Amino acid sequence: MKNKVVVTGGLGYIGSHTVVALLENGYEPIIIDNLENSSLEVINGIFKITGIKPSLHIIDCKVYIELETVIKNIEGICGIIHFAAYKSVNESIEKSYAYYENNILSLINVIKIADKYAIENIVFSSSCTVYGNPLEQPVTENMPFGEITNPYGKSKMMCEEILKDFYISSAKHKVISLRYFNPIGAHTTGLIGELPNGIPNNLLPYITKVASGKLAKLKVFGNDYNTKDGTCMRDFIHVCDLADAHISALNYANSKENKNYDVFNIGTGIPTSVLELITTFEKVNNIKIDYEFTKRRAGDIESIYAKTDKAAETLSWKSKRNISQSLKDAWNWELKNNKHD
């Protein structure tokens, strides 16, 4: 059986946890990364967890010839999981063309490679940002794309459209877009986790940096939303649960005879407020977070959480870890990785 899986962005936050899950499930990952938002040390973390050092190619997915040079020499590839992209909503507003260039061009090159070398399965990292500011909660996969106000979210929506068109024209590809909600946490060993460059954009790495004294204070953007405590609500999912969803998606794609395109929400289905996340972090890790409420941040939506029935029924996947576990793992990762700051 073919068991090799190309993982673009495989040294990144979600990619590295997925590489571990692939190794634990009998797949052979081949990592492609250009180190733009990751470090070579990640491979050592993967090795310490699994006892295996997967093959690694430091190349740029934007450059087709670099991808082809690697792929053409490898036999037995059953799929590509495409993580490589830029991911900051705020940065995408300032650097829109760079976001479109990296996120769209890389995807097109991945599709071209999959087509030319008959790699049947493609799993794509999409995002719940494609729902925009949803009118109904929880969001279901058959809701139309929302009004998306930032180039990052638009790039994900465009990539989904490109993949859908590719599937229509393709003879045999099985293509899956996974719409992630808000990944948090780290591997329980503390050997891999999120390594944001500079000041973190995401909430939990910010919380852990405040907890460890590397950042002074956490700003909570808005406490006047129409939610139970006035702060925004999100669907926070443990990164290892998210990684497992890729295995389920690959297994599902592998089990299909004919070409196929499908989209799945990958979340817990449980809304948690920003304030709840902070207070739970304080409780489970027994540490105080210095925070203050400030005015709302442009572009933030009030609330979003997933309906997860489709992934449960079709992929036989469900999240297993709760918020407390995620927050303990994130803090353990921070404590073990002071040297990165």
Ligand X SMILES: NC(=O)c1ccc[n+]([C@@H]2O[C@H](COP(=O)([O-])OP(=O)(O)OC[C@H]3O[C@@H](n4cnc5c(N)ncnc54)[C@H](O)[C@@H]3O)[C@@H](O)[C@H]2O)c1
Q: Which residues are catalytic?
A: 152
Measured from the CB atom, the residue of 160 and 262 that comes closer to ligand X is: 160
Smallest Cα–Cα separation from 122: which of 45, 176, 196? 176
> Given the rule CB under 6 A, which of 9-17, 21-29, 169-177, 243-251 is the region that contacts ligand X?
9-17
- The residue from 5, 6, 7, 12 that contacts ligand X (CB under 6 A) is 12
Residues 163-202 as x/- pattern, contact with ligand X by CB under 6 A: -----------------x-xx------------------x
Spatial distance between the Cα atoms of 36 and 9, rounded to a whole number of angstroms? 9
Question: What is the per-residue binding string for ligand X in 90-119, x denoting contact by CB under 6 A?
Answer: ------------x---x-------------
DSSP 169: H
> DSSP 3-state helix, strand, coil percentages of the chain (rounded to 5)?
40, 20, 40
**Residue 60 sits in the site that holds ligand X (CB under 6 A):** yes
Question: Does 43 engage in binding with ligand X (CB under 6 A)?
Answer: no
* 52 belongs to the binding site for ligand X (CB under 6 A): no
Neighbours of 338 (CB within 10 A): 9
Please, which residue, 36 or 161, has the CB nearer to ligand X?
36
| Distance from the first to the final alpha carbon of the chain | 43
- Could you tell me which stretch among 10-18, 252-260, 316-324, 327-335 binds ligand X (CB under 6 A)? 10-18
Distance separating alpha carbons of residues 244 and 25, to the nearest angstrom: 9
Q: Which stretch binds ligand X (CB under 6 A): 81-89, 276-284, 313-321, 327-335?
A: 81-89
* Beta strand segments in the chain, E: 4-8, 28-33, 55-58, 77-82, 121-127, 174-180, 182-184, 218-221, 233-234, 236-238, 260-266, 272-273, 291-294
Q: Of the two residues 181 and 331, which places its CB atom closer to ligand X in the complex? A: 181
Residue 160 binding ligand X, by CB under 6 A = no
